[in-house]
Amino acid sequence: MDLKLRWIEHLSPAYALAVALRRDIMRKPLGLEFTEAQLASESDSFHLTAWKEDVLLGTLLLTPVGDGSIQMRQVVVDERKHGLGIGRLLVAESEAEAVRRGFTRMKIHARDSAVGFYLKLGYKSVGDEFIEVGVTHQEMEKQL
């Protein structure tokens, strides 16, 4: 697959497409929408996207959280493209970018359905499961 990864700017046209993909996959099934305040708070995050030609196939964002850590959030891949390695490529690039920016640990709040994916990529579960946006999550982390 001819896939291109691109870091994009907050509030750019590509960001609007990434928000739409995140909303369709992660929010709408739960009956949720993004608020203006939630999207505004992403201005200090780093936004990564995966494209095949001009079609957005996946996205994630990285948000600095202090103590040398950065949190990977809102990781989504177009559901018709699961199993093609897009998620792995997004995670690998986000880890490399975090290292380039001087972070030493990646944190994630993984939905229970994604825990196995992150375990395969070297993440470890930390603490007990918890509920976030009505879904069971597991905090996970990886030393970079």
Q: What residue spans define the domains of the chain?
A: 4-107
Q: Tell me what pLDDT residue 133 has.
A: 85
Q: What is the pLDDT of residues 38-74, one digit of tens each?
A: 999 999 999 999 999 999 999 999 999 988 999 999 9
Q: What is the pLDDT of residues 12-34, one digit of tens each?
A: 999 999 999 999 998 888 888 88
Work out whether the CA dihedral 77, 96, 123, 110 comes out positive or negative.
negative
pLDDT grade for 35, boundaries at 50, 70 and 90:
confident
How far, in Å, CA of 63 to CA of 73, rounded? 7
How far, in Å, CA of 62 to CA of 42, rounded? 9
Task: Specify the range with the lowest mean pLDDT, choosing from 19-23, 121-125, 130-134.
Answer: 130-134
Q: Tell me what pLDDT residue 1 has.
A: 67
Cα dihedral 5, 6, 7, 11, rounded to 10, equals: -130
Which tops the pLDDT comparison, 79 or 63? 63
Please tell me the class of the 4-107 domain: alpha beta
Q: Tell me what pLDDT residue 72 has.
A: 98
DSSP 26: I
